[in-house]
A and B are shown apart, each in its own frame.
Chain A
Amino acid sequence: MVEHNEHAALLAQSVGDYVQHGSNLPRVRALAQTRAEFDRAQWQQLADFGWLGVLVPESCGGLGLGLAEATIVAEGLGRALTPEPYTAVAVLSARLLEGLPEGALRDDLLSGIASGQRLPLAAWQEQPDDFGGLQQTCRAVPFEGGFRIRGEKRFVAGAAAADGFIVSADSAQGLALLWVPRDAAGCELKLQVLADGRSYGALALDDVVVPRGHLLVAGDTARAALDRAIDHAAVTASAELVGVMKRAHEMSLDYMKTRVQFGKPIGSFQALQHRAVDLHIQQALADAVLRDVVRQLDPATDAAVRALAASRAKSRCGDAALAITRAAIQFHGAIGFTEDCDVGLYVKRALTLATWLGNGRAHRARYARLSAQASQREAA
């Protein structure tokens, strides 16, 4: 525990330094303009800090730490508006792979994540408001030499820089997870540009053929690992959102202290003060929930408890970030509506992060469904 806290404290310090010195909004703007969302040198730096390997086991060159540490990194990157797909690669993919049986391909991908050399992305989702790819039509059919995969995948965050996908597909053995290199024949990647300049990958898999060795796992293990990875990624995205909302609200408060109208700083007006306070309360709730949920979740947390906790975090943090960033436009007045004003960058990132892996409404619906199931179990 002591060791764990030391790790967390050191990490928090280095993340703090990064945010203070490495935060670079002109770079964020430039990447958003070019839709690149990715800067190889920056990614390598994150790898060199060890941050990409936070969840990667030590045997694969990572730090073998937990969600507590991953969320510290994510909050800092959210605050700095770092566009590189940290949560998609270093949490969603890493957690997914880490939950699979050891094997040459799995270990190689995990090492690649930690070193920054590989960007495998999980392509599991087909429909909006889905959790765990339950509405799946993608199929993997075995043949002598391997598998033939047919289907479509959506909402693959970070896909612009991907070098391959961990594709979920129905198979004779249940849910299968297969490695599909980006350049595989029949694999077509389209990018849907998002508000914040990043993109979702839409993947069309038209009888893509992969060798037998590309089957990472099939059956219950695949299902359990995928569900866990999605929940942990939702919590990490919540941490990014906390970083985004804190910085955005600071900007609003700074502006309210300096902008003068009617001969007084606008922050002296009670109508604006009370609005700022209500948003501050949303921020404090988001922060408290995130911390509670991270404390509650470890790799072995019961799936039902974990899902409730993840939905609690994502719904509060997503909606709070949206409310705070939207209000930041209003607090800034007309200037807040201009492209040059940095407030817009936070609004757009909040919009992307709050909806990826389920928005507030979807998570509340899931929370309601899961709690009803839990009370039925309790009654029975």
Chain B
Amino acid sequence: MNTDWNALSDEAFRAEARKFFEGEFPEQYKFLPRRMRWAECRDWYLKLSARGWLAPNWPVEHGGMGLSPTKLLIYFEETERAGVGRMPDQGITMVGPTLIRFGNDAQRSHFLPKILAGDAIWCQGYSEPNSGSDLASLRTEAVPDGDDYVINGSKIWTSMAHDATHIYVLARTDKAAKKKQEGISFFLVDMKTPGITLRTIRNIAGHEEFCQVFFDNVRTPKANLVGELHKGWTIAKGLLGFERLNIGSPRRPLFAFEKLELLAQARGLFADPAFVERFTQLKLDLADLGSLYGHFVDMARRGEAMGPDVSMLKVWSMDTYQKLSELLLEAAGEYAPVEGEVDFGGTAIDVLSPFYNSRPGTIYGGSNEIQRNIIAKYVLNLPS
């Protein structure tokens, strides 16, 4: 379990990852056109955990693989190549890195092992019906009462909340604060707590992946406040940094790219110079995303907080994902709107789902327009 994966050569690590993902990920879920439900991926999650491969991005001392940027990219490339499905992975991509950076020892020693054991599956309580791009205007409220905080309000667009055991919540703790970003705190909440109800929301592709979560006098212990009271916005931003690093990873565009390459081979499109030119441009856009991603992964490994410039990664990754999904539809010709897998001379490809799946990428985690505002203000220092 304590293998130093970074000591392997890139080729050896790739061979190892390929053998494992191709051989061990359940056949029936390969290239699933939607996120996996917990019931579907539980065994796989635990298998990854037992092998020490669940958290490739976490430091080794917390039970992760501590992969270098190059190795992490190989890990993602091989998961996408093998068609490994997307699990409810917020604990690994967001909560873990956030607790490692902002949490206290008690929170780390309580929650990190639970995440690795599959006992804590997380969802994100950020957006509200009236607080989307303007997240800091949120109105869900937490009031201290004895050893607890009592939370009231509602969160929306909460991905996979119906599979989650825990939710991290941004709530207002000081309504008198001068700026709306002040007086917000960051809480960890058990979804089994009385007063939590949820409804699922069907998305454009017909899948139930996100939810609205209602909080009606929900009590969470004071020990579950992360960081300082009223200073949750800093943590929220830090977590958004990890989220943007995660969304900005090449893995989602790689998923569409793999399909595009298969389809182009099956349809003989590489004989068409006009197609080859567009394909190559996108292939390079993706390869260059890998270089930019590596730069930010290096920073994360050194324990540095993500600065506002990580927004670049999210913008580029999701724009590239959409462009790939659009070329995939174009390459499919009349087959583009056909639902489900289409047989292209022996190669079965679902051309439509990457189109759907790439749509929210420019909306969630802060829309690409909001990311551009952030970069303009905090990186380029342009006036407002």
Contact = CB atoms under 8 A, between A and B. Distances in A.
B280 A365 contact: yes
Contacts of B292: 284-285, 288-289
Given A277-B375, A280-B312, A364-B277, A267 B383 contact: yes
Nearest to B287: A312
Contacts of A270: 373, 376
B276 A368 contact: yes
A292 B294 contact: yes
A235 to B, nearest CB: 13
A253 B377 CA distance: 12
19 contacts: A253-B380, A253-B381, A268-B383, A268-B384, A273-B372, A273-B376, A274-B369, A274-B376, A277-B372, A277-B375, A281-B312, A284-B292, A285-B288, A285-B289, A285-B316, A289-B288, A292-B294, A312-B287, A312-B288
Given A288-B288, A288-B292, A288-B295, A364 B379 contact: no
Interface of B: 270, 276-277, 279-281, 283-284, 287-292, 294-295, 309, 312, 315-316, 369, 372-373, 375-376, 379-384
B380 A277 contact: yes
A186 interface: no
Contacts of A291: 291, 295
Given A280-B375, A291-B295, 4 more contacts: A277-B375, A280-B379, A284-B309, A288-B292
A371 B291 CA distance: 18
Contacts of A371: 280, 283
A367 B284 CA distance: 9
B317 to A, nearest CB: 11
A316 B383 CA distance: 29
Contacts of A361: 277
The secondary structure that dominates the B interface is helix
A303 interface: no
Contacts of A292: 290-291, 294
A256 B381 CA distance: 10
B270 A372 contact: yes
A64 interface: no
Interface size class of A (residues with CB under 8 A): 20 to 34
Contacts of B276: 368
A45 B62 CA distance: 53
B282 to A, nearest CB: 10
Interface string A250-269: 00010011000000110110
A288 B270 CA distance: 29
Contact of B294 (A274, A288, A365): A288
B376 A277 contact: yes
Interface of A: 253, 256-257, 264-265, 267-268, 270, 273-274, 276-278, 280-281, 284-285, 288-289, 291-292, 312, 315-316, 361, 364-365, 367-368, 371-372
B244 to A, nearest CB: 13
A364 B288 CA distance: 13
A316 B376 contact: no
A43 B379 CA distance: 37
A130 to B, nearest CB: 18
Contacts of A273: 372-373, 376, 380, 382
Nearest to B273: A365
Given A273-B373, A274-B372, A368-B280, A280 B380 contact: yes
A50 to B, nearest CB: 29
A364 B281 contact: yes
Contacts of A284: 292, 309, 312
B267 to A, nearest CB: 16
A285 B291 contact: yes
A276 B283 CA distance: 24
A278 B277 contact: no
- Nearest first, the 5 A-B pairs at minimum CB distance are A273-B376, A288-B291, A292-B291, A267-B382, A288-B292
Given A268-B382, A281-B316, A312 B284 contact: yes
A265 B316 CA distance: 27
Contact of A367 (B280, B372, B380, B381): B280
B70 to A, nearest CB: 9
Contacts of A368: 276-277, 279-280, 283
A315 B284 contact: yes
Contact of B284 (A257, A268, A277, A364): A364
Contacts of B315: 277-278, 281
Contacts of A274: 369, 372, 376
Given A264-B383, A276-B382, A316 B375 contact: no
Nearest to B69: A292
A364 B283 CA distance: 10
A107 to B, nearest CB: 37
Nearest to B293: A288
Contact of A316 (B280, B288, B294, B381): B288
Contacts of B291: 285, 288-289, 291-292
A365 B384 CA distance: 42
Nearest to B374: A277
Nearest to A258: B383
A199 to B, nearest CB: 31
A277 B380 CA distance: 8
Contacts of A372: 270
A278 B290 CA distance: 18
A327 B315 CA distance: 20
Nearest to A276: B380
A289 B288 CA distance: 6
Contacts of B289: 285
A368 B273 CA distance: 10
Nearest to B295: A288
A284 B383 CA distance: 21
A257 B380 CA distance: 10
Contact of B382 (A256, A316, A367): A256
B280 A364 contact: yes
B380 A316 contact: no
A256 B270 CA distance: 44
